[in-house]
Amino acid sequence: MDRPDDAPEKRLATPVRALRGVDPRAAELLPRIGLKTAADLVFNFPRDYLDLTDIRAIRDLEHGQMAGVVGAVEEIDHRLTSNGGSVTGVLIRDETDCLRAIWFNQGFMRDKFKPGQRVLVSGKVKREGLVWEMAHPKVRYLQEDQQPKGQIVPVYRLCEGLRQLDVRRAVKSALQLAHGLEEAFPADYLAKKRLLPIDQAIRLVHFPETQEQLADARRRFVYQELFVLQLALALRRQTQQESLAAEMPATALVDSRIRRLFPFELTAGQNAAIGEVAADMARPKPMNRLLQGDVGCGKTVVAVYAMLLAVAHGYQSALMAPTEVLAHQHAQTLRNLLAHSQVRLLELTGALTPRERQDAMAAIAAGQVDVVVGTQALIQEDVAFAKLGLVVIDEQHKFGVRQRATLKQAGMCPHYLVMTATPIPRSVTMTLFGDLDISFIRDLPPGRQKVNTYLTNDDLRARWWEFFRKKLTAGQQGYVITPRVEEHETLASAEQHFQELAAGELAGFRLGLLHGRMGPDEKDEQMECFRTGQTQVLVATTVVEVGVDVPRATLMAIEDGERFGLSQLHQLRGRISRGTEPGYCAVFCRPENDDARKRLEALASSTDGFELAEVDFELRGPGDLLGTRQHGLARLRIADLTRDQELLKLARADAQQLVAEDPHLARTEHALLKAQLLRRYGKTLDLGDVG
Ligand code: ADP
Ligand code: MG
C-alpha cells in the first residue's frame, strides 16, 4: 500500500493493472498504446471531446451549429459513387424529426449500427433540402434507457478491443493518484500568465464540466508544451551565439568579383538577402539563417554568394541538396559560373567508386577542395574538412537533418544557411526553425511568366494532349508527373504511364523516364537528356519536385492531382516557370473530398507560394509537416499549430524573454523547466552541454 505521504512520482509509477477499476482485459490492452503507468494515463491528453452540453431536439437544430442529437436508428443505407468512393447514411429519428448522419468512404460504418439502436450523434448540423444532415459526426452508443448527461466527455486514442469507456475509467482512477504533481512554473509566473496550476488543469483537461474549463485546462498544457519547446530553441540559439566562427566580411573587391559571375542583375529580394547573409558572416559568431522564398525566386544565387565569400576568405563551403539529381544540377550551375575562376569544386555522388570516394575525402581533408556539393547523406557521413567555413542546406524538406549535421570541424563553428523548397507556414517556421534568423525573398526575377493552371478531368484529355503535342512540335518541353506509388496500390506507375504515352498520345516524340527506384547514374542520364533537349518529355514521379531547373520546359501534366499536397503541387508547377515563355499545367484530378477540392482550387487561383503554404496548412493540419519522421523533434502532444498560433507567439516571446533574463536557466526557480526541456529536447536539439 502506498502511504499518503508518498512522493507523487512513486504513486504515478503504479502500473495500470494495479489501478482500481481497471479490468484485466483493459490492463492488458492499455500498454499496447503506450499507457503503462498511471503517469502515462494522466498525461495522455484526449484527442477530442464529445460535448453533450448542447443536446437538442432535431426540430430545434440550427444550420451551421454544433449540436448533439439523441435518437433511434431507423435505416442504414450504403452506396458507391461514380468515382469509386462510397457514402454511408444512417437515418436517426427522435420525437420531433429525423436526421441523416453520413460518412464518406467509410464503408465499415455501415456495420456499426442496427435499426432500433439508440445513439447520440454530435457534430456540425447542415440543412440539406428537406433533411437535417451531419457529416462524420461523433457517435456514442446508448443503453436502452440511458439519458446522456450534459457533460463533456473525453475521447482518447484506442486500439483494437479497447473501448473509450475503458480508457476513461483508467484515467479517472489514475487521477486519484495525481495530486502534488511537479509544477514546472513558479507560482507567480502562473498567476502572471493566468495559467491554471497543474493539479487543477490535469483534472479539467480530462473531465471538464464546461467549455471554459476545458479551454483553460487545455491552454495551460498547450502553453507549457510550446513554451518548453521555444525555451529549448532559445537556449540552443543562446549557446550557438556563444560559440565562435570565422569573420568573413564582404569587402567591395570580393563583392564585385562574386557579383560579376552572375549573368543577370540580381533582384531586390536577392540583394537584401545577400546583405543579411554577408552581415552575419562578417561577425565572429556563426550565422544561423533560414532563407525562404517562393519557387524560382533565385535562392541559389544567395547560396553561391555565401559560398564564394567563404572561399574568398580561405575557407571551404559545403552545399547539401536533398537528392542526387539536385546536387548534380547545383554542381553544374557552379561549374558554369566558376569556369574561369580558381575555385576548386568537388561533387560527391553516390556513383563514386570506393577508391574515388577515398581520394575525394583525402582532397577535402587536405584542403585541396574549396566547394563540395552533394546530398546530405553523402556529405554528413564521415567527411573531415580541412577548414570548413560555411554549410548550405538547400531545399530543406526533411527538417531533422539540420540537427544532425554535425560536420567534423575542430574549434570554430561553420556558418549555416538553410533554404526551404517553398515557403512554409509561419507557425511551422517558428516551431521547427525557431532558433534561426530568417530572410525572405518576396520577388521573382523580371520577365517570369505565370503558369496557367487548369484543373481538369478525363473528358478533356484528348484536347490537352493535342495542345501538348503542338507545343512540343514548336520546340518546347514538358513533364508528366505521376504520384509515387506504394506497391499495394493499383494506380498506374510512372513506367506504365510512360509506356502508354509512348504508344499513344505522345507516339513519335522523344520520351524520358525518371523515378525514385532508378540508380543515380540512370537518373543523371535521364535528367541530362532532358536538360539538353534530347528528350522532349520527361515522365517522372515527384523526384523532379524540388529544384530542377530546365528553362525550355513549359508544359506539365499532373496525374491524380488529388494525391499531392498543395505545396508539393506548387513546387512541381514551379518547374515550368523558369524561362520567358508562359507555362501550362494541367492537373488531372478526381477530388474525393472537400479538402482535396479546396487544395486544388487554391492551386488554380493563386500563384503566391507564401499564401498557398498557409492554405495548405489550414487544410491539412500540421500532421504532414510535423510528422514524427520528418524532423528530429518529438511530436507535439497537445498543441495544434493550426489552432494555437496565438499561444505559440506568446510562448515564443515569453521564452525569449526568459532566456534574455537568465541565459542558462541557472536560477533555482527555473530548474524544473530546464530539467523538463532537457528531458524532452536535450538530445534532438543537441543541448547536452547546456545541462
Ligand atoms: P529557387 O529559389 O527555386 O531555388 P533558382 O535559384 O533555381 O530558384 O533560380 C531559378 C532560375 O532563375 C534559375 O534559372 C536562375 O538562373 C534564374 N535566376 C535567378 N536569379 C535571377 C535573376 N536575378 N535574374 C534572372 N534570372 C535569375
Ligand atoms: Mg532551388
- The SS3 assignment for 533 reads coil
Fold classified for 54-149 = OB fold (Dihydrolipoamide Acetyltransferase, E2P) (2.40.50)
Helix 671-681 × helix 211-242 angle, to 10°: 80
DSSP state at residue 691: -
Fold classified for 252-283+298-420 = Rossmann fold (3.40.50)
List pLDDT tens digits, range 139-194. 888 887 777 776 788 999 999 899 888 999 999 999 999 988 989 999 999 999 99
Q: Which of 443, 549, 552 has most ligand 1 atoms within 8 Å of CB, for mutation? A: 549
| Ligand lying closest to the C-alpha of residue 270 | 1
Query: Structural domain boundaries of the chain?
Result: 1-50+157-180, 54-149, 252-283+298-420, 451-606
Residue 293 near ligand 1, beta carbon < 6 Å: yes
Contacts of 193 (CB under 8 A, 6+ apart): 185, 223, 654
Residue 577 near ligand 1, beta carbon < 6 Å: no
Percent of the chain predicted with pLDDT > 90 = 57
Ion ligand 2: residue ranges with CB closer than 5 A: 547
Fold classified for 451-606 = Rossmann fold (3.40.50)
The secondary structure element, H or E, covering residue 466 is helix 461-473
Segment among 101-110, 402-411, 468-477, 658-667 with least mean pLDDT:
402-411
- Closest C-alpha to 439, from 297, 236, 230: 297
Q: Is the pLDDT of residue 458 over 50?
A: yes
Nearest CA to ligand 1 atom 23: 266
Index of the ligand 1 atom closest to the CA of residue 447: 25
The whole-number pLDDT of residue 325 equals 81
The CATH label, of 1.10.287, 3.30.1380, 1.10.1660, 1.10.150, for the domain at 1-50+157-180 is 1.10.150
The whole-angstrom separation of Cα 79 and Cα 516 is 38
Calculate the CA 327 to chain-centre distance. 22
> What distance in angstroms lies between residue 680's CA and the mean position of ligand 2's atoms?
33
Residue 264 near ligand 1, beta carbon < 6 Å: yes
The whole-number pLDDT of residue 431 equals 83
By the 8 A CB rule, do 576 and 551 touch?
no
Nearest CA to ligand 1 atom 18: 298
> What distance in angstroms lies between residue 500's CA and the mean position of ligand 1's atoms?
34
Nearest CA to ligand 1 atom 25: 445
> What distance in angstroms lies between residue 243's CA and the mean position of ligand 2's atoms?
29
Residue 301 near ligand 1, beta carbon < 6 Å: yes
Residue 141 near ligand 1, beta carbon < 6 Å: no
Nearest CA to ligand 1 atom 3: 296
List pLDDT tens digits, range 567-608. 889 989 988 977 778 999 999 988 777 778 888 999 999 989
Q: Is 333 exposed, middle or buried (0-12, 13-18, 19+ CB in 10 A)?
A: middle
Residue 266 near ligand 1, beta carbon < 6 Å: yes
The whole-number pLDDT of residue 468 equals 96
- The SS3 assignment for 371 reads strand
Higher-pLDDT residue of 346, 340: 346
Q: Is the pLDDT of residue 324 over 90?
A: no
By the 8 A CB rule, do 120 and 52 touch?
yes
Same fold, 54-149 and 451-606: no
The whole-angstrom separation of Cα 607 and Cα 621 is 21
Residue 441 near ligand 1, beta carbon < 6 Å: no
List pLDDT tens digits, range 50-59. 887 888 899 9
Q: Is the pLDDT of residue 488 over 50?
A: no
The whole-number pLDDT of residue 495 equals 86
List pLDDT tens digits, range 280-292. 999 999 999 999 9
Nearest CA to ligand 1 atom 15: 298
Reading the block at residue 641, the C-alpha cell is: 499549430
By the 8 A CB rule, do 641 and 431 touch?
yes
Q: Is the pLDDT of residue 404 over 50?
A: no
The whole-angstrom separation of Cα 600 and Cα 620 is 13
pTM: 0.80
| Ligand lying closest to the C-alpha of residue 397 | 2
> What distance in angstroms lies between residue 300's CA and the mean position of ligand 1's atoms?
7
> What distance in angstroms lies between residue 451's CA and the mean position of ligand 1's atoms?
16
Nearest CA to ligand 1 atom 19: 298
> What distance in angstroms lies between residue 418's CA and the mean position of ligand 2's atoms?
11
Q: Is the pLDDT of residue 66 over 90?
A: no
> What distance in angstroms lies between residue 361's CA and the mean position of ligand 1's atoms?
31
The strand pairing partners of 154, in sequence order, are: 49
Q: Which of 274, 294, 299, 300 has most ligand 1 atoms within 8 Å of CB, for mutation? A: 300
pLDDT band of 628, cuts 50, 70, 90: very low
The whole-number pLDDT of residue 396 equals 67
Residue 578 near ligand 1, beta carbon < 6 Å: yes
Contacts by 2-11, CB closer than 8 A, 24 or more apart? 2/177, 8/177, 8/178, 8/179, 8/180, 8/181, 8/182, 9/39, 9/182, 11/38, 11/177, 11/178
The whole-angstrom separation of Cα 589 and Cα 571 is 17
The whole-number pLDDT of residue 558 equals 94
